[in-house]
Amino acid sequence: MNHTGKIAVITGAARGIGRACAERLLADGAKVVMADIDEGGVKAAAAELGTEEHVRSVRTDVSQKDQVEALIEEAVKAFGRIDIMVNNAGIAMVQDFLEVTKADYDKVLSVNLEGAFWGTQAAGRQMIKQGGAGVIINMSSINSGLANPRVATYAITKGGMNQITGTAAVAFAPHGIRVVGVGPGTIDTDMIHTGFVSDASVKGILSRTPLGRYGTAAEVASVVSFLASDDASYITGETIYPDGGRRVLNYTVPVKEQG
């Protein structure tokens, strides 16, 4: 993909899918503003990926509307405009449905759902101010449509995110702004290895994944780069699922023994 001359903003960019998206868009010619609540982590990631001429970092808590708006302002101050917004920041809490507290519920929704809403709104407002055009990409999940009571709050936010994508796509279409979603399956990232998937459940997940493996953050980033490009100019309001075939499978497949 060719993103030369474009400016991208990515939240949750210190690691995992967000960092991979930053790396890919930089490689494809864009300048990137990387945002994350982990100030040290995102600063280090930005320094590793390029110079200040091409990449900047901004500490941002996406659950706070004013900080999301300030992020967009910082991006415009640094590079003059924004063309691509990737709402990737997200958290997950693995717990029994009956164990979810009000604080748990509010925390996950404020980051995942409200963060995506404020990011979509702020980016859309700036793109309209620039005269229209641009692409907003919301990082959803296959859990947006699958029932997993162990990650209820996460799944609820991703289902809601798909509605943000659809409604914003209709709202912004008259301005030439596309809004699309990416819903990864099980991707080999820190989130997976810090409790989201237990060792015992790996075989179960792979038995429901026709391609028989986890995806990589780079594979998700390649979908993001495509959707942000002019090659995807007639796609809006949709969520694309790089999931190894998991959503369409209604039975299990043999799993190779790990060794």
pLDDT digits (tens, 9 = 90+) for 203-227: 788 888 999 999 999 999 999 999 9
Residue 195 has a pLDDT of: 58
What is the arithmetic mean of pLDDT over 47-75? 98
Average pLDDT of the chain? 95
Contact 25, 225 (CB under 8 A): yes
Residue 197 has a pLDDT of: 62
| Domains, in order of start, for the chain | 7-188+217-248 (3.40.50.720)
The answer to whether 251 is a known catalytic residue is no
pLDDT band, residue 22 (cuts 50/70/90): very high
Residue 63 has a pLDDT of: 98
pLDDT band, residue 194 (cuts 50/70/90): low
Residue 134 has a pLDDT of: 99
Q: What is the pLDDT of residues 101-119, one digit of tens each?
A: 999 999 999 999 999 999 9
Residue 206 has a pLDDT of: 86
Residue 259 has a pLDDT of: 59
What is the arithmetic mean of pLDDT over 32-58? 98
Residue 198 has a pLDDT of: 64
Q: Evaluate if residue 257 carries a pLDDT over 80.
A: no
Residue 202 has a pLDDT of: 76
**Helices (H), ranges, the chain:** 16-27, 39-49, 65-79, 102-108, 115-129, 152-172, 190-191, 202-207, 217-228
What is the arithmetic mean of pLDDT over 19-28? 99
Q: Evaluate if residue 199 carries a pLDDT over 70.
A: no
Distance, CA of 24 to CA of 140 (rounded, Å): 19
Helix (H) or strand (E) holding 239: strand 239-240
Residue among 154, 214, 234, 251 flagged as catalytic: 154
What is the arithmetic mean of pLDDT over 233-258? 89
Q: Evaluate if residue 17 carries a pLDDT over 90.
A: yes
What is the DSSP track for 133-178?
Answer: -EEEEEE--GGGSS--GGGHHHHHHHHHHHHHHHHHHHHHGGGTEE
Q: Evaluate if residue 196 carries a pLDDT over 60.
A: no
Residue 256 has a pLDDT of: 79
Q: Evaluate if residue 121 carries a pLDDT over 60.
A: yes
| Cβ-proximal residues to 203 (8 Å cutoff; 6+ apart), any chain | 255, 258
